[in-house]
Chains A and B, each alone.
Chain A
Amino acid sequence: GENVEQHPSTLSVQEGDSAVIKCTYSDSASNYFPWYKQELGKRPQLIIDIRSNVGEKKDQRIAVTLNKTAKHFSLHITETQPEDSAVYFCAASKTSYDKVIFGPGTSLSVIP
């Protein structure tokens, strides 16, 4: 089955700096790669996703890249703000609605 690894497990950045979280997956049949943000005590919520036919996707300060050959994908947050502090999960699945396998998460702290 699918296995998703994620690094780093914790990340501290100064406000305004960039943050990068990297993930790898094992199943070449995976085609959908979402990223979820979970604030303390809240449910995970989708922040951005990318499909296997796309190499990069941006949404304001957030961007994701995908290297399907290497089975790597990454989340980039620019101009970080304190409200970006949360746990971020990468994930992989065959379709957006099918079973989704998550990485172990990255706890991001943005220091004002």
Chain B
Amino acid sequence: DAGITQSPRYKITETGRQVTLMCHQTWSHSYMFWYRQDLGHGLRLIYYSAAADITDKGEVSDGYVVSRSKTENFPLTLESATRSQTSVYFCASSDARQNNSPLHFGNGTRLTVT
């Protein structure tokens, strides 16, 4: 859906560098999520946010930082990238105002750490 966009689509960075992945949604959804996808592990939750200024850790949060100063943005920062963080990262959002709102995913960011 065009309503949730991730940038960049592809990123190559070096070990030890800081890198930020951006996620922007236009629906005013209250919930936003970051997942990483690796072969054999499916989609693993990194961090999520129920509203602006509220964030919670997911299953694999070590080495990642998030912020949610505005409802529409949920950037994910790798403070010091490691090769194990090479992955495809998906941002998603959902609408707590609707009882049947599923996750809406962005197109993903493929990150390679060399």
Chain A contacts to B: CB under 8 angstroms = 1, 6, 9, 34, 36, 42-46, 49, 89, 95-105
Q: Told that A96-B101, A97-B94 touch, could you supply 19 new A-B pairs with CB distance under 8 A?
A: A9-B40, A36-B103, A43-B106, A44-B43, A44-B103, A44-B105, A46-B103, A95-B96, A97-B30, A97-B95, A99-B33, A99-B45, A99-B48, A100-B33, A100-B103, A102-B45, A104-B41, A104-B42, A105-B42
Q: Which residues of A contact B45 (CB under 8 A)?
A: 99-102
Residue ranges of B at the interface with A (Cβ–Cβ < 8 Å): 30-31, 33, 35, 40-45, 48, 56, 58-59, 90, 94-96, 98-103, 105-108
| Given known contacts A89-B42, A104-B42, A98 and B90 CB-to-CB distance under 8 angstroms | no
Given A1-B59, A43-B106, A43-B107, answer yes or no on A96-B99 (Cβ-Cβ < 8 Å).
yes
A42 to B101, CA, bound (A): 20
